[in-house]
Each structure stands twice: as C-alpha cells, then as structure tokens.
Structure 1
C-alpha cells in the first residue's frame, strides 16, 4: 500500500547513512527492512515537496512514520528556542532536522550496548558484522536487525568484535528483556537514554553522560574537549526541557562541523 503524509513539522530525507544504521538513504528515498510479527517487510519513504510518500505493508509504514518522526509536532521546540544564543542559528539553518529512530525498542538497546565506550566507526562495523551474520536479508538487499534471541549468544557477539564485557551485558539483557533491562549490570543511564530516545521516541532524556555530545557542545563554545563536566552539561541540556534529545541532535550537527563555533 502507499500512504501520502504531510508531516506535522516540515521534514526532509535523513542525512547520509550513520555508522551501524540499517536505514538506507539514496537519492532522496529512505528504505528500511524490518521483521514484524515474524514477517520480513520493507518500508520506503520518498519526499515530494511538503509531503512524504510511504510505501510498504501497513505495519512497516507505521514503523517508518515513527522512525522519521513524521507525526511529531516540533513547533513548540522551535518557537521556544529558535532565538537561542547557542543553537538558534543552527535551528534556523536546519529547521527540518530530526532524531533518527529505529523500528524496534530492543534494537535501540542492543545498538546502545554495542556503542558503549567505543569509537563510533568501530562500533558501526561490529553492528554490521553481527547483522550480516545473524540478521535477515530482504530481497532488496537490505538487512533487518537480528532477532532478540540472536543476541543471547555471547560467543557470537564476541566473534563479530564486541568486547567480552559488552557481549556479556548484551547477552544478559537479551535474555531478561526490556522490562528488566535496568537491572542488568552494565546497563546504565547512558544506555537507557539510547533506548528512550531512539527506541521509544522520547525527547525528554538525560544525555549528560554522552561524551560525544558533551564534546560537541565543548567545540561549539570553544572549550577544550573533555573539559565540560557531566553536571555542567546536564544544566545546559535542562534549559531545553522537555526537548533535550532534539537539542542534543542540533549540538551534534553543529559541534562536528569544522571549528564547531559560530
């Protein structure tokens, strides 16, 4: 089926293909393979003016709408902060910026564990290696994320390059499930924030312990990376409540530019 959606806030194709991401964006069309209720499905999104054309199974379309935040009204955030001295200019330059989500909450949690305390590019390689080995390949060539049961195999995770400590944590959380994730040793505030932001679509998440975003903020203000404390950064993020997650996305976009300053 095909559905035409006019987003509640202007949208555009996501930028590039992030490390470890299973979403593919080519020539303004986003594609994602996923398994829902045991069925391997493909969803596609194409931008035409101010509307987005979605194609696929009804369940896959619903997940794609969530992934692209098409039904989220971001106007309150932009009204409140478009004049902000820190992020205002970036917001005005990139008003269509979104947080890229994933179709299944456990995938967000699993990827969060794989990206713990590790170089982003290396973590992406590990995620891809595990996906190719244990995920399902759609006829389009795209891969759907491995099922939760695959992550219970610690040896298989280590074989793809994940450190033993992280592999053990991920295997344990895969066995106990999302409801008890917070009780697993190795699942802390940072990883749960990844689950909430990318898996549940919450914007009001604490990201003070995210070193990458904190360093992006440091570059924006012209400070030395590593010099901003968690407490200082949490206070900065709290200025944007309940939109800390979206504010963090703008910090990443701005902080990783050359120089990272206005």
Structure 2
C-alpha cells in the first residue's frame, strides 16, 4: 500500500465535527465510510484511480492521507485533493451567509448550532445523479442495494487497516456498462434505461462547467437528462454540485422552517425568507433541514 499525506486549507470558519455528524446520518452513503475519533475514511475515484482518503481536522483545514495500491502521480494527488475539497466544500466562504443569518432571529440559533459546518456533498456529482434516479419512488433500502451493486461491478475496493472500502464508479466506468446490465444490477429496467442514458450524456459535459457555469444552463442540462425532473435537478444542483442559487419549495423544508421559526411557514413565507439569503439560499435550506 502506498500513502501520501497532504494538508488542505478551508475557508474559515470551518469545523469538521458537524460534517462528521451529518455523514453518520446520511442514508445514501451509509456503510461506505468509517467515522472514528474525529476521522473520516472513505474510498473515492480520482483521475481514473481508486484511493482511500483518511481525513482529519488540522488547524483551519484538514489533513488527508491518501492510500492507493500503487504509487500516486502528482496528477493523481491533485485529482484526489480536488475530490476531497469539493466533497467537504472546503472552499465555501460562509462569511456573507452568516452575516445575513445572524440578522434573522429565527435562523441565528441554527447558525449557532452548526457554526463552521460546510455542506457535505456527494463524493462525486455522478454518484448524486445515480442516487437521484435510483431513489425515485423507491424505499431507501432498495435504492442502496442498487447503488452497492453498481459499485461492486468494478472492483474499486481497497483494504486499509483491515477494513474494505469501495468507491462508487466514475462516469467512464458506468458508461461502459450495457443498458441491460445496468438494469440487472439496479433491479429495475426502467431505472437502468434512465441511468444508462443520463450517464452517457453526463460524460459529454465538462464537470467544471457544471460546477461553475451559468446556473440556468446547468439546470437546463440536468432537466434534459433521462429520468431527471425538477426535484431531482435541484437535488443534484445543491447536493452534487454545490449550486446554492435556488431553493425548492417542498413539505420537508416547510416543516423544518416552521420548527426553526416557531410558527407555521407557508410556501409564500419560504420564498420570502429564502430571498433574503440570495445566492446562499441553498445553504439556508440545508442548515434548516439538518438542524431539525
């Protein structure tokens, strides 16, 4: 086993603790990582390689120890570092969001409880895409089984300190599967058809464009993918790409906002409350959901 350790700074304030608590309770990645003694260990795909990243807080950022079956090139390390940075949203500058939130009496206590939490996204956006399709009108257990079957198809597994870690396939790997095989693995021909088509279209678009391109164009691309409707598109925009410009109005957010603000919050209230957060409204909604 080959290892390399790197330090990654984070935009302050940053606290890995709330991120670890979130990951513990996040059903889509349940059982895929180990959280112990303030350390997160999980497998990921980067630059066509499978690596296991062990992440711990180090000052205002994190220290990451990368484990791989063979030597890591500088490009491998850079790609793995990018994956960790994006997964943990290390570059998100929360200063403006916190400034607005502290002037919001109903929301200020939420900031107090989650201070320093940077949104934990799916390890890769394509994993979020797959989960969005697999989990539609499906029990979480069934969606998780399909996701594990896809991951198990490629042997993206490493053993570190006696524990096995398996990375979810990257877009290139998923696109290499015939549509019929995808349907067999996920146990649903229709979802296999959607996922196969969506991944093949995904491969044709640069991920940097999805992360940073014009919001409307990125959303339109997602809505054009097989099996992706408005809810799924917003889900991927926020939880897979970190695009916080919009907040979907839905029951779970109404309930979370009602608890935080101590009154019944209507759809109109949600839109008004979210508007004060501008480009940070996705963070506002995410904080509300996980603080409940």
Which of 156, 178, 182 does residue 223 from structure 2 map onto?
182
Shift of 1:215: 3.9
Structure 1 regions of 5+ residues with no counterpart? 256-262
Aligned pairs, number: 251
Taking a change above 3 Å as real, the CA distance of residues 183 and 93 of structure 1, as seen in their structure-2 partners, is closer
CA contact (8 A) 2:87 2:124 kept: no
Residue 144 (structure 1) aligned with residue 184 (structure 2): no
| Partner residue in 2 for 1:4 | 7
Q: How does 1:1-262 map to 2 (within 5 A)?
A: 1-9=4-12, 10-13=14-17, 14=19, 15=21, 16-17=23-24, 18-21=26-29, 22-56=32-66, 57-120=77-140, 122-134=142-154, 136-140=156-160, 141-148=164-171, 149-150=173-174, 153-160=178-185, 163-177=188-202, 179=205, 180-209=221-250, 211-220=251-260, 228-229=266-267, 233-255=270-292
Superposition CA RMSD, Å? 3.0
Query: Could you say which structure has the higher helix fraction?
Result: 2
Shift of 1:150: 2.8
Taking a change above 3 Å as real, the CA distance of residues 48 and 220 of structure 1, as seen in their structure-2 partners, is same
CA contact (8 A) 1:101 1:201 kept: yes
Q: Distance in 2 between matches of 1:71 and 1:184?
A: 28
Q: Distance in 1 between matches of 2:277 and 2:86?
A: 22
Q: Distance in 2 between matches of 1:51 and 1:85?
A: 30
- Normalising by structure 2, what TM-score? 0.72
Q: Per-residue displacement from partner, 1:29-76 (whole Å, max 9, x unpaired)? A: 112322223222222211145442122233212221121122221111
- Normalising by structure 1, what TM-score? 0.79
Shift of 1:144: 0.9
Q: Distance in 2 between matches of 1:83 and 1:24?
A: 37
